[in-house]
Chains A and B, each alone.
Chain A
Amino acid sequence: EVQLLESGGGLVQPGGSLRLSCAASGFTFRSYAMRWVRQAPGKGLEWVSVISNSGGSTYYTDSVKGRFTISRDNSKNTLYLQMNSLRAEDTAVYYCTKGVSSTWNDAFDIWGQGTMVTVSS
Chain B
Amino acid sequence: QPVLTQSSSASASLGSSVKLTCTLSSGHSTYIIAWHQQQPGKAPRYLMNLEGRGSHNKGSGVPDRFSGSSSGADRYLTISNIQSEDEADYYCETWASNTHVFGGGTKLTVL
Contact = CB atoms under 8 A, between A and B. Distances in A.
Interface string B21-49: 00000000000101010100001111001
Contacts of B104: 44
Contacts of A106: 95
Interface of B: 32, 34, 36, 38, 43-46, 49, 59-60, 89, 91, 93, 95-96, 98-105
Nearest to B35: A107
Contact of A59 (B45, B93, B99, B102): B99
Size range of the chain A interface in the assembly:
20 to 34
A91 B61 CA distance: 32
A109 B101 contact: no
7 contacts: A44-B103, A45-B91, A95-B44, A104-B98, A107-B32, A107-B46, A112-B43
Interface string A92-115: 000100001000111111111110
Contact of A45 (B32, B45, B99, B102): B102
Given A107-B49, A111-B44, 20 more contacts: A37-B44, A37-B100, A37-B102, A44-B91, A44-B105, A45-B38, A45-B44, A45-B105, A47-B101, A59-B98, A59-B99, A105-B95, A105-B96, A107-B32, A107-B34, A109-B59, A110-B46, A111-B36, A111-B43, A114-B43
